[in-house]
A and B are shown apart, each in its own frame.
Chain A
Amino acid sequence: MAGKSPIGRINAYYWKHEGLGRALATALGFLLAGITLALIGFLAVKGLAAFTTGRVPFLAFLFSTKWAPDSDPPAFGILVFLVGSVLLSLLAIAISTPFSLATALFIAEISPKAGRRILQPAIEIFVGIPSVVYGWIGLSVLVPFIRKAFGGLGFSLLSGALVLAVMVFPTIASLSADAIRALPAEYREGSLALGATRWQTIRRVLLPAALPGILTGVVLGLARAFGEALAVQMVIGNRVRIPGRLTDAMANLTSLITMDMGNTVMGTPWNDALWSMALILLLLSCGFILLARAAGRKGAAR
């Protein structure tokens, strides 16, 4: 067809210089969505197997604290790990948020120049440090320190939360700084022109106005803390119980999956229960992302 009629020639030219590339880019763009769907699909099928085969009762799985996969009869209650994950990530966020916010305010308000030249590169390096390195510094420095200072084993809820607090710091700090910087200059100038000090402006005008963006950062930090595996596994002691004190050893979802996945045989109820835990981890992560988006959208709508 090409080369015969002028229309055919235009079509051939279009296909060669536009259509082909466009089709390729489109296909690869949608490939990413395909991977996401495949990931959710595979984990859903594998994670539901424990319940569809009837070997793990669903309600006991979610609400029982008895985890005894190798006793007879076995018990597969994951509440201990679920509560462990929630405690760890909430405590990490509670420790990290004030420091992250202060750093964000420094970058956006107090000294943008030092922020750009020193703090932003520092935050990028914090992001780049591998999680096993955080875990190792926790294991070799923080755990002995907590053992000496507060008693107990040192492997504890507190150690895990402190390691996670450092790991989520860059997420919360950089997203909060972005949110504060994105505010219209009139907010700041209006408040200062009314005679407010810088701190009054920050506290009464900038922080409330930037709240949606800050919340997005906090939720994404929470998601990161909730899903972190190795760094946490190395410092929490991996004892199957709900910690009563900050210095108690404990376990969470990711640490149990990490440790047991390699020691169990595919297709056994124990292994199936681990895949169900992975599915719960996946669903909660998706929930956090939707929550973060909802927080951000609320800000855009105002």
Chain B
Amino acid sequence: MKRLVKPRTSDRLASAAISAVAGAAVALLAAFIGYFLWSGRSELNLHFLVSAPEFSKAGGGIGPQLFNSIYLVFLSSLVSVPIGVAAGMYLAEYARPGRTTDLLRLAIETLSSLPSIVVGLFGLLVFVTLTGWKYTLMGGALAVSILNLPVIARTSEDAIRSIPPSIKEGSLALGATRWQTLVRVLVPSALPGILTGVILAAGRAFGEAATLLYTAGMSSPKLDFSNWNPFSATSPLNPFRPAETLAVYIWKVNSEGLVPDARQIADGASAVLILSVLAFNLLARALSRALHRRFTGGKA
């Protein structure tokens, strides 16, 4: 059979095509970011970020929603970070290879790839109906924690496992128990990796919406930002109140369409979310590099 194209020509063509696709992927991302910064530029001001939304006229802000998103990430981290890191410690150090561990891993893997709407519906059954809390910020935070737990557990396990065995053996040889070795040697050395996972999970929680529609709800009571009593119904700090987050708000202004400036609001709020994602990513990168440098004495 006669070759239609010389191997060298096809090699060049294929390399060029692959590089072009990779370049296009980066260009698409740059276009997304550029588009949102451009379309949301008129909304990226202090008034939009801090003032309350309007229900039937234009000019409302996203203050309460932004606060709710940040508070929700904080509350869900309080739950998911300690449990997730401890589970990662168990998987990295204590879990013996065998059937039980295989099943445990399968369960965690399953949990981490469940659709977020399914986790939200579980939250609706347990944290809304069963507890009788109705739609609450706390219910939303717990549902998001379920989403984040397997992610934090896996990144913590990977980070602990990637520590050279000589470090662990040194600690054990000095007479430390395995738990002491974990807490004083392995986890501190694995901190850059663990923190990266925690920050990326926080970023995911910040933009999560499907889990929150039926757990934290699609409304926010009138908040009084001078009221810092967490037990008061109008206090922003009260975790047992409905709390619409920024991502949920983007969805709601589009599906309800009551506000005349829905488009500007969605553009502005999307710009805020994209910028936050970039910030979370850069923070994770910078922190892990800084910690790595500290632990390795300057060799990055």
Chain A residues in contact with chain B, CB under 8 A? Answer: 14, 17-18, 20-22, 24-26, 28-33, 35-39, 42-43, 46, 98-99, 102-103, 105-107, 110-111, 114-115, 118-119, 121-126, 128-133, 135-137, 139-141, 166, 169, 173, 196-200, 202-203, 220, 223-224, 226-230, 234, 254, 257-259, 261-262, 266, 275, 278, 281-282, 285-286, 288-289, 293
Contacts and interface: CB of A to CB of B under 8 A. Distances in A.
B75 interface: no
Interface string B246-273: 0110110011000000010011001001
Prevailing SS type, chain A contact patch: helix
A122 B29 contact: yes
Contacts of A115: 22
Contact of B28 (A107, A166, A200, A261): A166
Interface string B163-179: 00000000000000111
A98 B28 CA distance: 16
A173 B22 CA distance: 10
Contacts of A42: 122, 125-126
A26 B88 CA distance: 10
Nearest to A282: B118
A278 B118 contact: yes
A230 B146 contact: no
Interface residues of B, number: 89
Contacts of A230: 209-210, 251
Given A107-B22, A281-B118, A198 B15 contact: yes
B83 A28 contact: yes
26 contacts: A24-B86, A28-B87, A33-B104, A35-B111, A42-B122, A42-B125, A99-B21, A110-B19, A114-B22, A122-B26, A133-B273, A136-B250, A136-B270, A140-B263, A173-B25, A199-B10, A227-B116, A229-B210, A230-B251, A257-B121, A261-B213, A262-B218, A278-B118, A281-B115, A282-B114, A285-B118
Contacts of A38: 122, 126
B276 to A, nearest CB: 9
Contacts of A46: 125
A199 B11 contact: yes
A161 to B, nearest CB: 16
A128 B263 CA distance: 22
Contacts of B200: 124, 128
Contacts of A228: 115
Contacts of B153: 29, 32
A293 B209 CA distance: 28
Contacts of A106: 18-19, 21-22
A65 B214 CA distance: 27
B149 A289 contact: no
Contacts of A20: 179
A18 to B, nearest CB: 4
A42 B131 CA distance: 14
B280 interface: yes
Interface in B1-37: 7-8, 10-11, 13-15, 17-19, 21-22, 24-26, 28-29, 32, 35-36
A14 B177 contact: yes
Given A36-B108, A227-B118, A285-B118, 7 more contacts: A18-B179, A33-B103, A131-B209, A136-B266, A137-B270, A220-B113, A262-B213
A82 B190 CA distance: 44
Contacts of A130: 206-209, 247, 273, 277
B95 interface: yes
B193 interface: no
Contact of B179 (A17, A124, A197, A262): A17
B223 interface: no
Given A33-B103, A137-B32, A25 B89 contact: yes
Contacts of A26: 90, 94
B129 A21 contact: no
A48 B17 CA distance: 50
A217 to B, nearest CB: 12
Contacts of B89: 25
Contacts of A24: 86
Q: Which of A46, A124, A199 has the most CB of B within 10 A?
A: A199
Interface string B77-96: 00000010011011101110
A125 B207 CA distance: 12
B18 A110 contact: yes
Contacts of A262: 213-214, 218
A125 to B, nearest CB: 6
A141 B19 contact: no
B103 A133 contact: no
Given A125-B29, A234-B251, A258-B213, A21 B115 contact: no
Contacts of B115: 223-224, 226-229, 254, 281, 285
Contact of A32 (B118, B119, B150): B150
Given A33-B104, A258-B210, A133 B117 contact: no
B161 interface: no
A220 B114 CA distance: 10
A266 to B, nearest CB: 7
B203 interface: yes
B204 A128 contact: yes
Nearest to B130: A42
B171 to A, nearest CB: 13
A260 B218 CA distance: 14
A25 B116 contact: no
A254 B86 contact: no
